[in-house]
Amino acid sequence: MKILLLLLGSLCLSVNGLPFSDEPSKTWVVLCAGWKGYHLGGYSIQANVYHAYQVIHAQGIPDENIIVMHYDDLAYNELNPTPGIVVHKVNGTDVYKGMKSRNFLGVLKGDPELVKKGKRLVNSGPNDNVFVYFVDHGSPNVVSFPVGYIYGEDLVFALKDMQQNNRFSKLVFYLEACESGSMFRILPNDLNIYAVSSSNATELSWECNWDESRKVYLGGYFANSWLDDCEHRDLQQESLQEQFDHMKKQLDIPGSDPKREPYPQHPVQYGDLSISKGS
Ligand SMILES: *[C@@H]1O[C@H](CO)[C@@H](O)[C@H](O)[C@H]1NC(C)=O
Ligand SMILES: *[C@@H]1O[C@H](CO)[C@@H](O)[C@H](O)[C@H]1NC(C)=O
């Protein structure tokens, strides 16, 4: 299975779909920035998600199938020297462009009004493929929001619940956070779920792309490496395994950062690894 096919809801994946459904296979993409604010340790989180949106949008996934969860307090923050523009690299292009601002802030906060309306984030069925990129601050077995936490058990329980409710054919989850490996420790390998953590269970994940004029880091090492790979390789040819191998190699060397000495980090694979290899 090639990543583009995964992203586009490919034929080869829909063959594995359940026979009783006539629905064509779709791909749903969820991009979630779990933290907010224009500051060190904040900017890069939303910028990662915006750049991911640009890359995925460029691959032809319809906007109605791309769900972006973000606080949306960066582009028009009073501290932003370029109102309405967010960059992911120094002197980089605007990655905020075309972002549809929807009310997912409410969902992140567990807005009771939205819950009451029964608003579903991902309206996927058994033939569909789901890709999730989630970036946040983390600690062992937890990722945190400005209000509340998600524990590793909760995350795996939610994924199991989706699987039991036939909400996907295959699901791929990229998680970028400190100690993110700890979140997937109990993920079974028989749920058609393949997960990648940006660092192992006991190490930090780092930001990069220091911007001297903005005084913030613009990106995460993991997102930087992943999206660079997407933009510079032929995604129709590259498997998720090859992408992982590439990121692993790239993240194992310290970045060049004038402000501090960054350390290598080690992404880890979890779940059903056959998905990464293309079966
Ligand atoms: C960004 O642009 C400034 C001004 O043109 C230039 O001095 C600087 O070297 C550039 N930095 C990078 C990393 O491209
Ligand atoms: C996690 O990474 C750290 C270094 O960053 C290393 O010392 C440790 O052995 C790694 N743990 C595993 C389980 O690979």
- Going along the chain from its start, the domains and CATH numbers come out as 3-12+26-277 (3.40.50.1460)
Residue nearest to atom 10 of ligand 1 (CA): 91
For ligand 2, atom 8, which residue shows the shortest CA distance?
202
Ligand lying closest to the C-alpha of residue 205: 2
Name residue 29's beta-bridge partners. 66, 131
168 pLDDT higher than 80? yes
Ligand nearest to the CA of 203: 2
Model confidence at 3, pLDDT cuts 50, 70, 90, reads very low
| C-alpha 200 to ligand 2 mean position (Å) | 6
Task: Give the residue whose CA is nearest to atom 12 of ligand 2.
Answer: 200
Specify the DSSP class assigned to residue 75: T
Indicate whether 14 pLDDT > 70.
Answer: no
- All residues at 6 or more sequence positions from 248 whose CB lies less than 8 Å from its CB, including other chains: 266, 267
> Mind listing the pLDDT tens digit for each residue in 40-51?
889 999 999 999
| Alpha carbons 121 and 167: distance in angstroms, whole number | 12
Q: Is the pLDDT of residue 144 over 90?
A: no
**Whether residue 117 has pLDDT greater than 70:** no
pLDDT at 18: 33
Q: Which two tokens stand for residue 95?
A: 């990655």
- 216 pLDDT band, cuts 50/70/90, is very high
Q: In testing the pocket of ligand 1, which one of 87, 91, 209, 218 has its CB within 8 Å of the most ligand atoms?
A: 91
Q: What pLDDT was estimated at residue 190?
A: 96
* 89 Cα nearest atom in ligand 1: 13
Q: Ligand 1 center to residue 91 CA distance, Å?
A: 6
Query: Is 212 or 21 the better-scoring residue by pLDDT?
Result: 212
- Residue 230 is among the residues annotated as catalytic for this protein: no
Reported as a pLDDT band with limits 50, 70 and 90, residue 6 is: very low
The dihedral through the CA atoms of 14, 15, 18, 23 has a sign that is positive
Tell me the whole-structure pTM to 2 decimals: 0.85
Distance of alpha carbon 54 from the chain centroid: 13
Does residue 16 register a pLDDT over 50? no
Catalytic residue among 32, 88, 178, 230: 178
Q: How far apart are CA 192 and CA 47, in angstroms?
A: 29
Point out the least confidently predicted range of 28-42, 46-60, 255-269. Answer: 255-269
pLDDT at 193: 96
Whether 89 contacts 219, CB under 8 Å: yes
What residues does ligand 2 touch, defined as CB less than 6 Å away? 200, 202-203, 266
Place of tokens 């090639």: 2
Distance 261 CA to ligand 1 centre (A): 21
